[in-house]
Every structure is written in C-alpha cells, then in structure tokens.
Amino acid sequence: MSESQEERSPSVVDILRTHYPKAALPAVVVAMLWIRLQAYDTFLRDGEVYLSGNDAWYHLRQVNYTIQNWPGTMPYDPWTGFPYGNLAGQFGTLYDQLIATAALVVGLGDPSQELIAKTLLVAPAVFGALVALPTYAVGKRLGGRLGGIFAAVVLMLLPGTFLRRGLVGFADHNVAEPLFMLIAVLATMIALTVADRERPVWELVADRDIDALRDPLKWSALAGAAIALYMWVWPPGILLVGITGVYFLVQMVASFVRDDSPEHIAFVAAVSMPIAAVLMAARISEPGFGVTGFTLLQVLLPLAVGGGAVLLAWLARVWESQDLERNGYPVAVAGLVAVSLGLFSIALPGVFGGIISNFLNTVGFSATAGTRTIGEAQPFLDPGILQQRGLTASGRIVSEYGFTFFSGLLASIWLAAKPLIKSGDTRKFGYFVGALGVVALIFLVPAIPDGLGSALGAESSLVSLTIVTALILGGILQADYDPEKLFVLVWIAFITSAAFTQVRFNYYLAPGVAVMNAYLVGQLVNSKYLGIPDIEAVSDIDGYQALAVVAAILLILGPVLFVPISVGNTTTQTAWDAAEQTGPGSVTVWDGPLGWMQENTPEEGNLGGAGNADQMDYYGTYEYTDDFEYPDGAYGVMSWWDYGHWITLRGERIPNANPFQQGADTAANFLLAPNETQSEDVLTSQSTEGNQTRYVMVDWQMATPGSKFGAPTVFYDAEENVSRSDFLRTLYRFDYQNQGRFVGTTLRTQRFYNSTMTKLYYYHGSARSPSPIVVDWEPRQVETGSGEAVTIDSNPRGEAFVRTFNNMSAAREYVEEDGTAQVGGLGSFPSERVEALEHYRLVQVSDTSASNRILRTVGREAQIAGANPQATVPADPAWVKTFERVPGATVEGSGAPANTTVTASTELRIPNTNSTFTYTQRADTDANGNFEMTLPYATTGYDDYGPDNGYTNVSVRATGPYTVSTPATLGNNGSIVSYRANLSVPEGEVNGDGDGEIGVELDRNEEELTIGGGSGGDGSTDGGSGDSTSADGSGSETQSLREPAVAGDAARAA
C-alpha cells in the first residue's frame, strides 16, 4: 500500500471518534427498550392482555375508539362518571392517536383486540426508550457529544419514577410527556441560539428581509409547533408555555439592563407562541378555561406570552428613545406585570383563581389534600412516606437518582454561577457566595422559613421557593447568560419544583438531571485542569486525564445505578432489577367480579327490562354536554374512584366515580354516610338519574384503615368538620424492642362502624351488636424528638389495651367508670349496635381472599394493641364484594306483642367461598303488635330473573326462609313464650319487579320451662345475641381476641 493510500485510509480510532454517537446512542436506546420489556410475559395471562394501574385502561378505550374512527378522538363519554358523563381532556390525545395508528399499521388496517392491547402494552417502553434521543441532543448542546452520550447513559440507568412510568404495561401518557417536552425544549433552544446569532430586529421585519429572517423564522415556527405537539399529548403541558413566558420575561429584562436589545428574543416569542396558539385552536373540544383539557386557555395563554414579549420589546424601544435609566426598566416591567395580573383577577376571578391554584398545586409545593390522596401526586419528600420507608430526604433522592441528582445540582449551580464568577467583578462574586449561603441556610435551618411562613400566613415551602427565586433573578440581572443556557436553567428550576411538589413529575426531572450531568461532563473535559476539548483529542489525553474522567464517571454512576447500596431501611435497586418487579396488579383480582358483573347483570339501558341497550353504544359518538341524558334502564356502579376505569373497561358498566376524581366527593359522601337515609340522599341528589345507581363494589382496601380507608375521609363534605380522626383514633404503646419508642395502633370509632362502606364489607348489610371487648388507654405526657411535651393516649402502665368481659353489662360498667376506654374498636367489633341496611344485598364475592393482605396491613397494629391479629380479620375477607341496591320487600307484620322487638333473620350461602352468613334485621312493634321492615335479601324465585329480563342473576342465595321472631319471655304459668313465623320472600318482591309488599302474622309459641335443661334466653338487650353476631365469627373470636404474648410484652415495657 502506498503512503498516499495510508493517509487516505482512516484508522479504527478515527472511525470511532467520528462516529461513536451513531453506535453508542442506538445501543443506549436498545438497552433501554430491553430493560423496559423484561416483564412482558407477566401481563399475558390465560389469553388476556392486562395493563398496569388505572389510567392505562382508559387509554385502551380511547385507542379502540380512535381505531374505529381514525383519526378522531372521543368527543364525550357517557360510560364513566354516572349520572353526568365525562370528557377527559388528558385522554384521546396525540398519544392515543399515535398508538392507534401503530396498531392499524401492524394490523394491516384491521387489528384484533389482542393486537390493539399488545400495542398499547409495549407503547410506554417504546416511548421511554425514545426519550434518550432528545436527551442526547439537549445534552450535546450543553456538554458536547461526550456529554450527550453521558446524558443518555444516565437516563438509561435511572431506577426511579422515570423508569417505572416507561415499563411495559404502564400505558399511561406519562412517559410520552417528557419525550415531547424535551423535543419542544430542544427546538426552543435552537430557535434562541439562531435568533441570538442572526439578531432579527424590527427593522428587518418592517423591510420584509426574508433572507435575514429565514432561519430565525423557521426555527421559531418549529419551536411553536413542538410546544403545541407537546400540549396535544398532554393539555396541562400549558405549563411549558408558562415556563417559556417566564424565560422571555427574565431574558428580555436582563438583556436590556445589560445594554443589549431584547428584540431578537421577542422575535422568537412573537413567532412561536402564535403558531402554538393556532395549532391548539384546532384541538379545542370543550368550553371554558380548564387546564386539563383542550380549552381556550391553551390558545389564549400562548397569545398572551407572544403579545407580552412584543409589548416588552416596544417598551424597551420607548425607554431607550427617552434616554431613561436602564435600571428602571425592570421596575416598570414588574409594575406592568402586577397591573396586568390584577386586572385579570378582577375581570375573570374564577379563571385567575383556577390558574393560580393549579400552578401552586403543580410547582408551588402546595398540592391540595384531595390531590395528595393520589399516590403519584404526593410530595416527593412527604414525611409520611419517608417514615414509612425508613428514609431521610437525601436517602429518598439517592434511591431515585443515585448520585446523579447531586452532580446535576452541582452542574445547575455552576451554570447559574459561571457568568457571575467569570465576569471578574468581586461584587458579583460576592453576590453569588451570599446567595448560596442564604439558600443553604434555608434548607439547613428549616425554622427560618417556618417562622417567616407563620408571620406571613403562607406555607414555609412557598416562602423558601420565593426567596430562592428572587435570589436567582437577582443573579440573572447581573450576568450575561447564553440565551439557550438561561432557558435550560429556568426550565430545570420549574421542573425541579414540580418534581418535589408531586412525585410523579420526577419523570420530567429525570431527563433534566441527565442533561445537567451532560453539562457537568462538558465542563470537566473542557476545563483547564483536564484540557480535553472533545473525544477528537483522544490521542493527546494523558493518563491522569483519563483516570480523572473515569473516576468522576464511576463516582456518579457506580453507587446505586450499577451497585445497589443500603439507604435507611431499604436497599436501592438497579434499573434492570426494578424493571423485573412490575405486573398488572389487583386488576387481575377485580377481573373476576367485573367479569361476573358483565355476564350476570343487565346491560346498560336494560335495567328492569327497559329495552334501551341500543341507545348505549359502548363505542358510540356522543355530543359534549355538562349532563348527559341517560335512557331509562341505564344505571351506575358505585365504588371508590380508583376503580372507575376498570368498571368501564372490564365490566362494561358505568362507574359513578373515576380516576379523573370525578365523583370523588359523591363517592366519599355515600361510602362514609353514617346511616342509610343519608347514603340514599347522596345518590338521589345527583342530577335526575342519580337514583338509578344499582350496584356498589367494595374491596378490602377501601374498608381497611392503613390502606385506602383514609382517602374518602379527605373528600367527605356531607357534614362539617368531619375528618379522619372522627373514624379512627391513634393509641400508643411503649416498645422496648423499638429503641424505647412509642409505637402506634389504630382504634376504630363507632362512626367507622356506622359508615355504609363498613356495614357492607364487614356485615353484608346485616345488623350487628357489640361484644364484651374493651380497649383501654390512659393519657400520658411524653417528649417528642425535638423535646416538645405532648399528651398521647397510651396503654395503661403494665397492661395491654384489650380487656374481655363475660357480658356487655360488665364491659359497659368498666368503660363508664374508667373514663378512657371504649367498647370494641378492633376488627369488626363495634362499640354500639349497628343497624341493618334495608336496600343493599351481597350478590357476589371474588374468589380471591384478602386475608393475608389484611393481616399484613393491620396485624402489626393488632399485636401492639395486645390482640390476636387473626381475630381482627373478617370471617369472609373476600378481596372484592359486590352489592346490589334494591327496592327491597316491605314486610307488614302483625300478631306480635305490643311494644317489643321483632327480629328477622335468614342464612345465606356464598357458593364460591363455600361459606354462609346470617342477615338480621330488627323492628319495633306498635301498641297493636304491628310492625314493618324492609328486607333486601330474597329467599325464593332466583331462577325467574337474570340479565335477559333486566335483573341480576344473584350468586349469593338464601338457604331457607326468614325466621321472624320476638324475644322469649316468661309466661304466667312459668312457661317460655315467643312469637314466630317463617317468611319466604320472592326475588321479584325484592328487585322491584313486584309491588314489594308482603304480609306475615306471627304465631304464639309456648314451651314448658325445664329446670336444668336448655339455655332458653335471658331477654338481654345488650348482649348482642339477637343480631347477626355470627356473621363474621365474632362469637368464637371474643375469647381468642386477647394476645397473651403481646400483653406480656406490654407489661414488661411498662
């Protein structure tokens, strides 16, 4: 080979250093896809394709609709949010259209339901892997090609929220959001850089100098289109418009103060924002100014930002022409913004208040109580979560990001500080050091923001945010920042606030952390200490330089991301380990009851044989309305909002509440109603069809403290000043084994047992009397970790909480004398008699038992109380129980003694668990011995009814007739006298097909009293034997409730 040929032939090193991104980046994408698809088979069960979570299922509905009506999206959905219907603005977006299009392509225009579901199943993994591409591009702009690759690698290795949102099965739109946001951020960065280079000013626009304006115009238009596409995926992405607006404001003011024209920045805003507005106008689908849907807000806010930028540019020209002091310009702009906001709040107070509320709820560390009931919307560093996981704040961050968060934070600080330090001005350097000290003081001494917050009547976190923001703005006004880097800095600040306000927004922060690490790598390799301008200089790298780079990378990526470490009480996970631990969740359990509902209850529109099922097309196209007019025979299914989408998709029935939190307050008011009358009023007050709610589904989590029971208490507003503490009371026991600390247990109040949800799940609507079990406590003054003296309710010294007695009289006497004790309050043991429900009957339970889950949730607390954990589990702890709301059979009785109590009871069998329970109801007689009661359970005629004629094919059926009886009394001749009759109740009289009226006459029965034989009855009204005390096995539990070993521990602890 000749010398000239050798010169022309590139070496392997030349090829690698020139083309390494082309190989490395696809490798990262493929690796990310592999990690995210590991658990694919977990979601395929018995020929069914399952999804994870709640929202993914509603996306399946939207994708199916779009496939049938491509490219249209569902304009309104009456199959959720009964009795109103709903338009979910965050669903039926570009995300669903892309997936529907992919399914159509793969399915050659006619995809099967299985293919559609599988396409949606893998979509989050694909979107999650693709986020690496714009992450690399943004990282490259900040830290060169090496920095860009490093950013993509960081993103690939992160084991936290970003990974979980992109795993197979988690088919929500979440992971598509950062993909399209990063594309918009990238396009805006390019537009700002081009504008800063080409300097498009008003004169060029006035002269229509297309050649000079072409590049700025093109990239600004693309930036606007990218922002609009992001909002097409997620309408609340209007936040990015706000972030961009803040950047334009800050950049233009800072530019003018530094003797630079702000017009080139205004040009980007004036072009990009109207284009975004026009594209959003094409998607408007609902009236008003809501944040979560395609509304006028997504049009008007971009126009306001673009117009505001033009106004600021004009004001700068006027200011300059009048030769005014430039330092006065920021004051004028601040005044202009304040006046504009003030006028806005006066003209449209509702809209203004909604925007401010959503802003604080998203980035202002002020998520509302209702929002915090959503697991993904809780604060990232929520004290309760930290305590539950045994983590500190730093430990929580490390488990989410490893050390990359802290290295990214260091990079952000350097990005903000570099122009100040490089200026050589000692005052600016002093400002940076002072600002950094103030920020450190705020976070290291929380008492400072706490005190300021108390004085100002504001949240301490909001005070801290305001101070930090002011310090950053002060630094920006003093330094000359590259436009795209300042934009990234503003963007990072906002998404960091969002991530710490709501944990879910960490899927935005993860790419942000990655790109800031790219900037850090770029700064390191280009620093004067290493002097490596880029990988092209690989042949000139000394050993110490290579070692320094490798050491820095290993320090950032090694712990957590490659090697798990212990953090608090937990061990961190690598991305590939975390990805394996995913699955569809409890929808697989709910699938059984919902499948039963689909097959054994009337179709929507055919309740009672109305024959209007054809008016409720499952994938029909319906016009938008605030209150859908349902046809006769349509009905709702009441449950907690978490399960609404499952009811719609897996049961093909209409839920009253859904994961949009529509109907959450109504569901809470119904489920926690203290009596049946109030729960009925909740339903009938809903629109005109609310009374047509026919079924109620309750699972163990809804009915169990420590699981989901607390969530409805946040939304409950049927009574004033009712909160979780009205249902549950916390008691404490000193625990030597827990470093001498007090450990808590939960005592259930009578209000808990009176709640409709409790009556349904624990007692199946039957009456229930208390048992002679007492929980005893005493006030005790203790010191908190901070040294503050507080009074807590603790176990009596040397004794356990739980006491048992031989009868109710003794138990109540003890409670009255003690003053700090309560009958019952553990498991299913109430403090007072619980009245029976008249219009609700159990019709089906799931095959899966929740016994172990309940024990894991409340077992520890039962042990702390000194109780046998097993005794606190209901006798029939089915995972899901389905109830039917029926008119019931009104029984008019006679033949009983005057002014006594009549009891009706019947045994019912649950076939799939092979268990029985007794439904019991009591009624008082009048002076003539007449009485009336409404019974919800039939005893005969089941086979005459089913879905075909508009009724329920009941699974839970009576084993015999009702026994209607009075308490036994002692007759004048010493005999035992009682009144009783057997009563058969036909199904048609219960379900509303008949007139619902039945008569019964009691017969007098007299038996000779035999001394020493039988037990007879003692006529007690407080012992509880008259009600269904065996409904959950309490008769045998009373003696086994006490836990001797734990009681001994309590005595030793005292």
DSSP assignment of 258-314, as one string?
TT---HHHHHHHHHHHHHHHHHHHTT--SSS--SSSS-THHHHHHHHHHHHHHHHHH
Average pLDDT of every residue of the chain: 88
Rg for the chain, CA atoms, rounded = 34
Q: Is 343 exposed, middle or buried (0-12, 13-18, 19+ CB in 10 A)?
A: exposed
- Sign of the Cα pseudo-torsion (570, 576, 577, 580, in order): positive
Q: Per CATH, which fold does 886-1040 belong to?
A: Immunoglobulin-like (2.60.40)
Q: Which two tokens stand for residue 875?
A: 């006798």
**What's the pTM value of the predicted model, to 2 decimals?**
0.90
Question: 970-981: string of b/e by CB count within 10 Å (b at 16+)?
Answer: eeeeeebbbbbb
Listed in sequence order, the residues at least 6 apart from 730 whose beta carbon sits closer than 8 Å to its beta carbon are 744, 745, 746, 747, 793
- Sign of the Cα pseudo-torsion (109, 114, 120, 123, in order): negative
- Tokens 């570009």 found at: 94
Select from 714, 773, 783, 707 the least CA-distant residue to 742.
783
Taking 70 as the pLDDT cut, the residues of the chain under it are 1-21, 368-373, 528-546, 548, 735-741, 785-787, 798, 1010-1054
The whole-angstrom separation of Cα 273 and Cα 1011 is 95
Select from 270, 254, 275 the least CA-distant residue to 202.
270
DSSP state of 236: G
If you count DSSP H runs as helices and E runs as strands, how many of each does the chain have, helices first?
38, 26
Neighbours of 790 (CB within 10 A): 9
Query: Are 400 and 160 spatial neighbours (Cβ–Cβ below 8 Å)?
Result: yes
- β-strand partners of 932: 892
Give the residue extent of every domain in the chain.
131-423+479-580, 886-1040
Q: Which two tokens stand for residue 736?
A: 């030597």
Tell me the residue type at 800.
Answer: A
The whole-angstrom separation of Cα 97 and Cα 95 is 5
pLDDT given at position 934 = 97
Query: Are 963 and 980 spatial neighbours (Cβ–Cβ below 8 Å)?
Result: yes
Give the residue ranges of DSSP H helices in 457-559.
460-476, 483-501, 506-525, 543-557
- Tokens 């994938």 found at: 619
pLDDT given at position 709 = 95
Backbone angles phi, psi at 437, to 5 degrees: -65, -40
Neighbours of 609 (CB within 10 A): 13
The whole-angstrom separation of Cα 227 and Cα 245 is 12
Give the residue ranges of DSSP H helices in 390-459.
393-401, 404-422, 426-444, 447-456
Q: Which two tokens stand for residue 719?
A: 């009574």
Query: Are 694 and 604 spatial neighbours (Cβ–Cβ below 8 Å)?
Result: no
- β-strand partners of 745: 731
